[in-house]
Amino acid sequence: MDFNPLTPEEERVIVRKGTEMPFSGKFNSFCEEGIYTCRRCNAELYASSNKFDSQCGWPSFDDVITGAVTRIPDADGHRIEIQCAACGAHLGHVFAGEHLTKKNTRHCVNSISMSFIPAMKTAVITKAIFAGGCFWGMEYQFKKAPGVTAVYSGYTGGTKADPTYKEVCSGTTGHLEAIEVSFDPAKTTYEALATLFFEIHDPAQANGQGPDIGTQYRSAVFYVDDEQKHVAETLIGILREKGYTIATRLIKAGTFWKAEEYHQDYYAKTDGAPYCHAYTKRF
């Protein structure tokens, strides 16, 4: 992942987990509409609609863009640190039980850890979630697709919160290895991505994918709305008319848990290539 260059003060806070002085940050009393992003990697973090004035001296948010922030115990043993889920940049801390808003949560964020995109400039980015065997190969293929802005490997479909790779592989969590695809609808469509999904794995294999056997490797489309569900149903219908037996399940999307960092861009890091995600034209 490419990082933006940081000033010494930004590095002190973002990398070395420092804190800017209260009431000194540029976003503390800032109230424009738009999206707050990670200063280091540009990942979207918070919507302006969730920002509120807590009078604490730092920008405060009572909600986060889904999957954008990771919570970890702080080194002080008392607080919960929040980091950018995409790059691990230090953002600040999260607090609960203060009853400052109905959501009863306060993300206390250093202004210096964020950038801001005004509403008029915010690009419309849509997400899609697919499971089709080992997420390494799925991620590799989708990152090459036109219009795709980001792909993350992760886990979804089960019951265990924030699962580890070892837990998912045990088969006890109900999770599948999956990818979350962010795409620009001005440059591609969900139908194009779903078509690619059915053409880079074997949707007829019910118990895994290729040599990877297990419930975590099953084929599934996790649709985020009825439109995505309809597209997937239509494509499956076409494949069945062509004589394919389709094992792919359609499941309403829930929480997507990002996998450990060493799983992200795996083939780029290892200079490898997928062993069971070759393209096969089916439509």
Catalytic positions are 108, 134
Residue with token string 């000033």: 7
| 188 touches 255 (CB < 8 A) | no
As a three-state string, the secondary structure of the chain is CCCCCCCHHHHHHHCCCCCCCCCCCCCCCCCCCEEEEECCCCCEEEEHHHEECCCCCCCEECCCCCCCEEEEECCCCCCEEEEECCCCCEEEEEEECCCCCCCCEEEEECHHHEEEEEHHHCCCCEEEEEEECCHHHHHHHHCCCCCEEEEEEEEECCCCCCCCHHHHHCCCCCCEEEEEEEECCCCCCHHHHHHHHHHCCCCCCCCEECCEECHHHCEEEEECCHHHHHHHHHHHHHHHHCCCCCCCEEEECCCCEECCHHHCCHHHHHCCCCCCCCCCCCC
Strand order in the sheet with 51-52: 51-52, 60-61, 105-109, 90-96, 80-84, 69-73
* CA dist., res. 265 & res. 262, Å (int): 8
CA-CA-CA-CA torsion sign (59, 101, 162, 131): negative
